[in-house]
Chains A and B, each alone.
Chain A
Amino acid sequence: DGGITQSPKYLFRKEGQNVTLSCEQNLNHDAMYWYRQDPGQGLRLIYYSQIVNDFQKGDIAEGYSVSREKKESFPLTVTSAQKNPTAFYLCATRTGGTYEQYFGPGTRLTVT
Chain B
Amino acid sequence: GENVEQHPSTLSVQEGDSAVIKCTYSDSASNYFPWYKQELGKRPQLIIDIRSNVGEKKDQRIAVTLNKTAKHFSLHITETQPEDSAVYFCAASRYSSASKIIFGSGTRLSIRP
Contact = CB atoms under 8 A, between A and B. Distances in A.
26 contacts: A1-B43, A29-B97, A40-B108, A41-B105, A41-B106, A42-B89, A42-B103, A42-B106, A43-B44, A45-B100, A48-B100, A50-B97, A50-B98, A90-B43, A90-B44, A94-B97, A95-B97, A99-B32, A99-B95, A99-B96, A100-B46, A101-B34, A102-B46, A103-B43, A103-B44, A106-B43
Contacts of A95: 97
A102 B106 CA distance: 17
Interface residues of B, number: 22
Nearest to A29: B97
Nearest to A44: B103
A81 B104 CA distance: 27
A45 B92 CA distance: 13
**A contact patch SS:** loop
Contacts of A85: none
Contacts of A58: 100
Contacts of B96: 99
A63 interface: no
Interface of B: 1, 32, 34, 42-46, 49, 89, 93, 95-98, 100-101, 103-106, 108
A15 B34 CA distance: 37
Nearest to A98: B49
Interface of A: 1, 29-31, 33, 40-43, 45, 48, 50, 58-59, 90, 94-96, 99-106
A42 B104 contact: yes
Contacts of A106: 42-43
A30 B43 contact: no
A95 B32 CA distance: 13
A93 B100 CA distance: 11
